[in-house]
Amino acid sequence: MKKRRRRWQASWRDTKLLLREFRAPLIVFIATMLGGGALYQKVALYAGEPLHDYSEAVYLVLTLSFLQPSGSFPTHPLLEAFYFVMPLIGLGILAQGLADFGIMLFNRNARNKEWEMAIASTFEDHTILVGLGHLGFRVTEHLNGLGKKIAVIELDPKDHLIDAVREMGIPVIHADASRQSALEKAGIYKAHTITLCMQADSLNLQIAVKARSLNPKINVVLRIFDDEFAKSISTQFGFKAFSATSISAPAFAAASAGIEITRPITVEGEALSLAKMRIEKSSKLIQMSVAKIENDYEVSVVLLRRNGEVDMHPAGIRILRKADVIAILGHPDKISRLVHANQ
């Protein structure tokens, strides 16, 4: 239902964009009618067949353009020529404008840029993902699997992953994310998170700072190749920075979804993260035992907090309730599955 409403909103905003594009031929048509009326009035006066006033001349030219002349056929050759030429000019301008409008309206595939911006403009509390490389695409897949709304910004229009992302129903905006206008097109003011997956540390940080300046409450998750630099950024800016050595797409996606999750660490060859999550009222985990969660999702529940009381390493028989807070240890992929079940 929400997706259908967003598509209706996108269609309405897209139509307004189309009307804006149709404005030019409409202005030309109106100018032609007004100019044609002034010219006809002067020619009629010269030919000895004067009209009452200028408004009558404009009305006559307008009716001529639609092949519905309001008066009798003139006798002067100049006015006769007007009767034949004016419909061709007026209808030609209007027909061309309407044809262009119709093509743009019904062939949205030829106008992906405008259509996708219209869709993105309907989003609220969504994630803006910048950079559709290997990591960016996998994070997009995970976020989409979690049911999150996503708008992607990608500078390279030839990126081979764009079509795959569009097939998920996710808008892709071709723009330079370092520019404020690109972030605005993706709905930066109403976004919950911006996730930066580009290869350049400096560019990721630059966009992160700009995004936070435009939306002080936005959650920022970014890729940083240097581990020490990532820790420094997390401390100084409050961003969630993941180094290239610890990157895992599911962990990245979980952080983008607002889950408190640590960077993966390697324990005996296994990448493990620690995450904290609150049991939502619609969660599938309600009334499920700790033992079943650990068995079904292959994670360890290391903490359970209920009504301010903390239980470290809760017993397997304990049953989860709405608003419980749990801390889980496991592979980011497994944590991502658990997060999805908690939606």
5-25 pLDDT tens trace:
656 665 666 666 666 666 777
* Confidence (pTM): 0.60
Q: What's the rounded mean pLDDT across residues 295-304?
A: 92
Domain with CATH 3.30.70.1450 in the chain: 260-343
Assigned CATH for 260-343: 3.30.70.1450
Task: Compare 188 and 11 and report the one with higher pLDDT.
Answer: 188
CATH class of 2-111: mainly alpha
What CATH superfamily classification does 123-258 receive?
A: NAD(P)-binding Rossmann-like Domain (3.40.50.720)
Domain with CATH 3.40.50.720 in the chain: 123-258
Percent of the chain with pLDDT over 70: 85
- Mean residue pLDDT of the chain comes to 82
**145-161 residue pLDDT tens:** 877 889 999 988 776 78
Q: What angle do CA 115, 154, 183 make, to 5 degrees?
A: 70
Domain with CATH 1.10.287 in the chain: 2-111
Q: What is the model's pLDDT at position 76?
A: 81
Q: What's the rounded mean pLDDT across residues 328-342?
A: 85
